[in-house]
Amino acid sequence: MNTAPHAKHWLPEFILLAALWGASFLFMRLGAAEFGALPTAGVRVSIATLVLLPLLLVRGQWPQLRHHLGKVAFMGMLNSGIPFACFAYALLSISSGLSSLLNATVPLFGALVAWVWLKDRPHGMKIIGLLIGFVGVTLLAWDKASFKPDASGLSSGWAIVACLTACLCYGIAASYTKRYLGGVPSLVVATGSQIGAAIGLALPTWWLWPATQPGPTAWMALAAVGVLCTGLAYVLYFRLIEKVGAAGSLTVTFLIPVFAVFYGAIFLGETVTAWMLLCGAIILCGTALSVGVLRLWR
C-alpha cells in the first residue's frame, strides 16, 4: 500500500506515539526498581484500564467491546501483559536505552510473522527502510550490549532474551489484530486489551507485591506509564494499524530509541555522543522509508 500521499493524516500520531513509548522505558525502570517486574506490569495495565474504560462507556462502545471481548483480551496478553512483564524484568538489569534499542527489532519480527502468517511479503522500499533502520539500531547498540552480570547479580543475557521475547509477542499481536480485529474501533481494542492483560496479571501482581510499600516516585512513574504511555499510546497505536497496516505501525519502534536516549540524557544524566546522533539520523531515515514518507524512486 502506498501511504506517502496520506502521511499528513497519520505522521503526527506516529511521532507522538514514539515519544510516549520512548518515555515508557524510563518510567518502567523507575517503577520496577521498587515494585518488581510483574507488579510493575500489572499496575501499568490496571491504570490504563481505569483510564480507557470510562472513555469507552461515554462513547457508548461497550456493546462492541462485549462482542469482541474474548479476542481483544487474548490480544491484550500478547501485546501488553507478556511484553510489559518482560521489559520490566529486563529493566532490573539493563539500561532503559539498551531496552529501547532491543525494542527496535519489533518491525523485523512483525514483518516475519506477517510474511509467514498473513503471506504479506515485504518488498521494495519497505525492505530497504527496514534494513536501514536495523543497521542504525545495530550500530547504536554495538557498544552497549553485554552479557556480563551487573552489580545486582542479575544476568543481562536473560534480560536481552526477555526483550526479544517481548518483541516477538508484539509482532504476533500486530498480525493477530489485522487478521481478527480489522474494523473494530481503536478505543475498543485498546480498552479490551488492557482489561485482558490486567486480568491475566492480577494473580501474579498480588502474589509478588513488594513487602515494602513503594515510594511516591515509583507510584508517579507507574501512573505516567499507565495513563500516557499505555492508555493514550495504545489508542494511537491501533489507529495507526487501521491507517498504515500492522507492519507499517511497528516501524515506530525504530524511532523510539531516539526519544529514549534523549530522555535518558535529560533525566538520568546519560551522555549523548555524536555517534548516537548519527545513528539516530540513520534510524529516522530508515523509519521514513519503511512507512513511505521518503522515496528513493517513483
> Looking at beta carbons, which pairs linking 117-121 to residues 24 or more positions away fall under 8 Å?
117/175, 117/179, 118/175, 118/178, 118/179, 120/247
Calculate the CA 293 to chain-centre distance.
21
pLDDT at 89: 94
User: What's residue 210's pLDDT?
Assistant: 95
Phi–psi pair at 239, nearest 5 degrees: -65, -40
How high is the pLDDT of residue 144? 59
Q: Which three cell numbers stand for residue 181?
A: 480485529
Q: What is the pLDDT of residue 28?
A: 93
Round to whole Å and give the CA distance between 116 and 196: 26
C-alpha cell at 216: 511516591
Helix (H, G, I), strand (E, B) or coil at 268: coil
Per-residue pLDDT of the chain in tens (298 residues, 90 and over written 9) = 444 435 567 888 889 999 999 999 999 999 999 999 999 999 999 999 999 999 899 999 999 999 999 999 999 999 999 999 999 999 888 778 778 878 877 877 887 788 788 777 767 777 887 788 778 777 766 655 555 666 666 777 788 889 889 989 998 998 898 889 888 888 898 899 999 999 999 999 999 999 999 999 999 999 999 999 998 888 888 788 777 776 667 678 778 888 987 887 788 776 677 776 787 778 777 766 765 555 533 4
The predicted pLDDT at position 246 comes to 65
Calculate the alpha carbon distances from 137 to 49, 79, 104, 144 in Å. Answer: 32, 22, 7, 11
CA 135 to chain centre: 20
- Give the C-alpha separation, 232 to 228, whole Å: 5
Quote the pLDDT of residue 115.
Answer: 79
For residue 298, what pLDDT is reported?
41
Q: Give Cα separations from 212 to 84, 255, 290 (angstroms).
A: 22, 36, 46
pLDDT of residue 109: 80
Taking the model in full, what pTM does it have?
0.84
* Cell output for 28: 518502567
Q: Which residue has the cell 526519544?
A: 259
Cα–Cα distance, 103 to 10 (Å, whole number)? 22
Alpha-carbon gap, residue 255 to 270, rounded angstroms: 18
Q: At what angle do helices 125-141 and 274-290 cross, to 10 degrees?
A: 160
